[in-house]
Amino acid sequence: MTAPPVSAYPVETVARRVTDVLQPRNVLLVGMLAVGGFAAGHWTGLLWGLLGALCAGIVPAAYIEWERGRGRWGDRHVVDRTQRAPIFFVILGSIGTGSLVMVLGGAPTGILVAMLALWAMTVGLLAVNTVWKISVDSAVASSVVTLLACVHSAWWLTAYAMTAAVCWSRVALRYHTAAQVLAGAALGAATSLAYLAG
């Protein structure tokens, strides 16, 4: 019997798994459910959080998969920044729609402010992306951690280890430079601090 082949790129293998598990769709699903629950203080907040996750993460991810099926992009990373504008517009429209539903449905202020913070972050990402390839994955990971720290407890800041892992994985896979992931993380944190004003 021969031993199974050892990957020539173990770092890339780990980085790939990290970036796939902690992709924006997944981080937003868990994060917005938590934000909704904490903001409302009871289980009904989970429903608002699920709506937030749907609009901010799941709908955009589904759009990317749809375009991939049409052959427009090779994978979810859309490495060419010049092709990313439609994704940002879909995110803005989806978050805007979800926010309107929240207003009309009387959602807790906290989850609505979180949605508006994500909307503002997306505007920033779109603006920067016109001239420079900023990291969306690191922005989302940073934003969710900051939102949870604001709505619930500063102890959530320890989850920045997750954000650091996302940043590392994006650089290790050569999708971004260190400057691009740090800029994304900074933008995510800055726009999410608006929660404190809400």
**DSSP letters of 50-115?**
HHHHIIIIIHHHHHHHHHHHTTS-SSTT---GGG-HHHHHHHHHHHHHHHHHHHHHT--HHHHHHH
**pLDDT reported for residue 72:** 83
Specify if 76 maps to a domain: yes
Position 62 in a domain: yes
CA-nearest of 90, 101, 107, 106 to 24 is 90
- Residue 4 pLDDT: 46
- Give the position of tokens 């508006």: 116
Q: Give the structural domain span for 140.
A: 11-197
Q: What is the pLDDT of residue 2?
A: 46
- Does residue 185 lie within any of the structural domains? yes
Give the phi and the psi of residue 132 in degrees, each rounded to 5.
-155, 145
Q: What pLDDT was estimated at residue 9?
A: 61
* Residue corresponding to tokens 């603006």: 127
**Is 4 part of a structural domain of the chain?**
no
Q: Write down the pLDDT at residue 80.
A: 86
pLDDT (tens digit per residue) in 117-148: 999 999 999 999 999 999 999 999 999 999 99
Give a yes or no: residue 186 inside a domain: yes
Q: Cα–Cα distance between 39 and 43 in angstroms, integer? A: 10
53 in a domain, yes or no?
A: yes
Looking at residue 76, its pLDDT comes to 80
Residue 20 forms part of a structural domain: yes
* Number of domains present in the structure of the chain: 1
* Entry pTM: 0.92
Instruction: Single out the residue of 110, 106, 101, 96 nearest to residue 56, CA to CA.
Output: 96
Interior CA angle at 168 toward 62 and 129, to 5°? 55
For residue 90, tell me if it sits in a domain.
yes
Per-residue pLDDT of the chain (198 residues; tens, 9 = 90+): 444 444 546 899 999 999 999 999 999 999 999 999 998 988 889 999 999 999 999 999 999 999 988 888 777 888 888 899 999 999 999 999 999 999 999 999 999 999 999 999 999 999 999 999 999 999 999 999 999 999 999 999 999 999 999 999 999 999 999 999 999 999 999 999 877 766
